[in-house]
Amino acid sequence: MSKATDGTLVAAVIQMRSGRDVAANIDAASTLIRQAAAEGATYIQTPEMTNLLERSREELFVKIRAEREDPSVAVFAALAAELQIVLHVGSLAIRTGEDKAANRGFLFGTDGATLARYDKIHMFDVDLPNGESWRESATYQPGEEAIVVPAAGTLIGLGICYDIRFPALFRAQAGAGARVLTAPAAFTRQTGEAHWHVLQRARAIENGAFVVSAAQGGRHEDGRETYGHSLVVAPWGEVIAEVDGDAPGYALAVLDPEKADDARRRIPAIANQRSFTRVGPSGAASRTEAAE
């Protein structure tokens, strides 16, 4: 059993292999959440698309619901209250209109209240070398707000999956005081094998922050393959917890937010950041302001 000391928290990353059955996915997540809580976790994070991984747009819209009607929202809020944990549901597919959805993360407090919502900002619209093609923007409405929320005794910045490739989002959150950054994900196997660990570590190092990222792993019912390797990275860049491989499971780590402060004293990159003017080949100039 992991134990927190004064000023620390025990974080858990839940690794899943979500399929096409919403109820089965809720049950699988709930079982792992309960196991992690029994080992002392007080902040527990699940991966992107906890409730459903469905590549068919038509089938997705048959199964998803508006937030107020979504069964997973109610179950996870109640579970947070029952277990007295901060529960970060990495994301759910939530219907927002007749033909649009949100890739939406939720942070539930120890009383079950919704502390924050975050809609994924950066859409995974890519064509990969192995022939995989993804167009998230065809289904999901991108978010527009970077979220930093006080929870579990610290400030947590919310991100989702592809967001990890956009450093400005996490620098803005760190500049606002976040000492824990997050990127729960359903990373493809191809991109995960190439970039998953280095991206997580880079965001931790450059911001002097913990990065906590639960992941989907394995071959899913809709045919996609995800990388797994749910991670917790410390502010100096070392991996302090990992679910090795792509099987469902969880990993725990004790997070001391003071280590973020120490890393920022040692390398004060946020404090040293300056605005600058970018001059292009034509001589045109534009101003880039430092993140606040």
CATH of residue 109's domain is 3.60.110.10
Q: Look up residue 211 and give its amino acid.
A: V
27 vs 8: CA distance, rounded Å: 29
Please compute the mean of the pLDDT values over residues 246-259 and round it to a whole number: 98
CB 158, CB 149: distance < 8 Å: yes
Q: Are strands 231-233 and 210-213 parallel, antiparallel or unpaired?
A: antiparallel
pLDDT of residue 61 exceeding 70: yes
Whether 19 is covered by a domain: the verdict is: yes
**Catalytic residue among 58, 67, 100, 161, which?**
161
Structure-block tokens of residue 96: 């927002």
Whether 193 is covered by a domain: the verdict is: yes
Q: Quick one: pLDDT at residue 1?
A: 62
CA 118, 119, 121, 123 torsion: positive or negative? positive
pLDDT of residue 122 exceeding 90: yes
pLDDT of residue 93 exceeding 80: yes
Q: What is 104-168 written as a DSSP string?
A: EEEEE-TTS-EEEEEE--S--EEE-TTS-EEEGGGTBPPP---EEEEETTEEEEE--GGGGG-HH
CB 188, CB 225: distance < 8 Å: yes
**Catalytic residue among 120, 136, 242, 259, which?**
120
Find the farthest-apart pair of alpha carbons in the chain and give their distance in angstroms, rounded.
Answer: 61
Give the tens place of pLDDT for each residue, 133-157: 888 998 999 999 999 999 999 999 9
Q: Quick one: pLDDT at residue 282?
A: 85
Q: Quick one: pLDDT at residue 251?
A: 98
Planar angle of CA 15, 21, 24, nearest 5 degrees? 60
Whether 1 is covered by a domain: the verdict is: no
What residues are paired with 155 via a beta bridge? Answer: 150
Structure-block tokens of residue 194: 């190439």
Is 225 assigned a catalytic role?
no
Q: Quick one: pLDDT at residue 104?
A: 98
What is the CB neighbour count within 10 angstroms for residue 101? 21
pLDDT of residue 6 exceeding 80: no
Whether 282 is covered by a domain: the verdict is: yes
The domain total for the chain is: 1
Whether 51 is covered by a domain: the verdict is: yes
Q: How confident is the model at residue 98 (pLDDT cuts 50, 70, 90)?
A: confident
Instruction: Count Cα neighbours of 85 within 13 Å in the Cβ-side half-sphere.
Output: 29
pLDDT of residue 191 exceeding 70: yes
Q: Quick one: pLDDT at residue 288?
A: 77
Q: Look up residue 285 and give its amino acid.
A: A
Structure-block tokens of residue 292: 């606040």
pLDDT of residue 292 exceeding 60: no
Identify the H or E element spanning 218.
Answer: strand 217-219
Is 48 assigned a catalytic role?
yes
165 vs 170: CA distance, rounded Å: 10
Residue listed under structure tokens 């974080």: 11
Q: Quick one: pLDDT at residue 68?
A: 97
User: Rg of the Cα trace of the chain?
Assistant: 18
* pTM of the model as a whole: 0.95
pLDDT of residue 212 exceeding 90: yes
117 vs 168: CA distance, rounded Å: 20
Whether 200 is covered by a domain: the verdict is: yes
pLDDT of residue 51 exceeding 80: yes
Q: How confident is the model at residue 290 (pLDDT cuts 50, 70, 90)?
A: confident
Give the tens place of pLDDT for each residue, 74-85: 999 999 999 999
**Catalytic residue among 48, 54, 136, 242, which?**
48
User: Among candidates 135, 32, 29, which has minimal Cα distance to 89?
Assistant: 29
Q: How confident is the model at residue 275 (pLDDT cuts 50, 70, 90)?
A: very high
17 vs 247: CA distance, rounded Å: 7
Is 120 assigned a catalytic role?
yes
159 vs 203: CA distance, rounded Å: 12
Please compute the mean of the pLDDT values over residues 180-195 and round it to a whole number: 97
Instruction: Count Cα neighbours of 25 within 13 Å in the Cβ-side half-sphere.
Output: 29
Instruction: Count Cα neighbours of 90 within 13 Å in the Cβ-side half-sphere.
Output: 35
The one-character DSSP state at 165 is G
* Bigger pLDDT: 135 vs 163: 163
259 vs 154: CA distance, rounded Å: 12
DSSP SS3 for 74: helix
Q: How confident is the model at residue 128 (pLDDT cuts 50, 70, 90)?
A: confident
Segments forming the whole domain that contains residue 108: 9-288
Indicate the average pLDDT of the chain. 95
Give the tens place of pLDDT for each residue, 255-267: 999 999 999 999 9
Query: What is the tally of helices (H) and strands (E) in the chain?
Result: 7, 18
